[in-house]
Chain A
Amino acid sequence: MLLYAFCGDAVMIVEEQVELSKVFMAHRSQLRWAALKILGNSERAEDVVQDAYLKVSEAAAVFHVKQPVAYLFQMVRNLAIDHHRRISFELNLFEGEDNGLHVPSHIGMPEATVISREHLKLVAKAISELPERTRRAFELHRLEGQTHRAIAAELAISTSLVNILIHEAIDHCRAALQST
Chain B
Amino acid sequence: MFRVSLKLWKIDEFEDSSGEHQGETVANSEDQDSDQVWHTAVEWVIREHASLDPTEREELIGWLNMNPAHRNAYDEASRLWLLTGLVPPFEPPAED
Contacts and interface: CB of A to CB of B under 8 A. Distances in A.
Contacts, number: 95
Nearest to A95: B61
A31 interface: no
Contacts of B77: 170
Interface in B32-83: 38-39, 42-43, 46, 48-50, 57-58, 60-61, 64-65, 76-77, 79-83
A79 B84 CA distance: 12
B85 A111 contact: no
Interface stretch (A7-15, A42-50, A59-67, A100-108): A59-67
Interface in A58-93: 58-59, 63-66, 71, 75, 78-79, 81-82, 85, 88-89, 92-93
A5 B91 CA distance: 9
A127 interface: yes
Contacts of B42: 167, 170-171
A35 interface: no
Interface string A140-151: 011101011000
A141 B27 CA distance: 35
A39 interface: no
Nearest to B54: A92
Interface residues of B, number: 31
B86 A170 contact: no
A27 interface: no
29 contacts: A3-B91, A58-B86, A59-B88, A65-B88, A66-B91, A81-B49, A82-B85, A89-B57, A89-B61, A92-B58, A93-B65, A111-B82, A113-B82, A115-B82, A115-B86, A123-B84, A123-B87, A127-B84, A127-B90, A139-B89, A139-B90, A141-B46, A167-B43, A170-B42, A170-B77, A170-B81, A171-B38, A173-B83, A174-B76
